[in-house]
Amino acid sequence: MNNVSVSFFYFRYEALYAKRLPECINGKTFLKNYDDHNDTVTVIDPNRTYGVKSPTKHPIYENFRVEAFKSLLTAAKTDEQLSSLGELMYQVHLCTPSASYSGFCK
């Protein structure tokens, strides 16, 4: 998902796929529908509810910010560049997974 551009994600995903994704899914329902998640490190708890839609968005938007930050760091030093770097850092604090997921699936 990190290789998906923000513009592709926003227009294609939001228009075509977001409506199909649930906000949350219960572990029992997930296991019944999909059987497994191909991850040997984690276990799906049938009694837990997992966020789906918000956690899907986070890595895509975060990757865009990381790439923008990287580009700005290598650019010529200007006040605008420093302001943009600060704005990107501020956005990260607003969009961390815990902030994105809060209020969902409790």
pLDDT tens across 42-75, in order? 999 999 999 988 888 777 778 888 888 999 988 8
10 Å Cβ neighbour count for 37? 11
Q: Which residues pair with residue 51 across a beta bridge?
A: 24
- 34/20 Cα distance (integer angstroms): 16
Higher pLDDT, residue 12 or 80: 80
pLDDT at residue 27 greater than cutoff 90: yes
Residue with tokens 């837990």: 48
Give the C-alpha separation, 65 to 73, whole Å. Answer: 12
Torsion over CA of 54, 59, 63 and 69, rounded to 10 degrees?
Answer: 60
> Would you state the pLDDT for residue 28?
96
Q: Is the pLDDT of residue 101 over 50?
A: no
Q: What is residue 5's predicted lDDT score, i.e. its pLDDT?
A: 67
pLDDT at 3 over 90: no
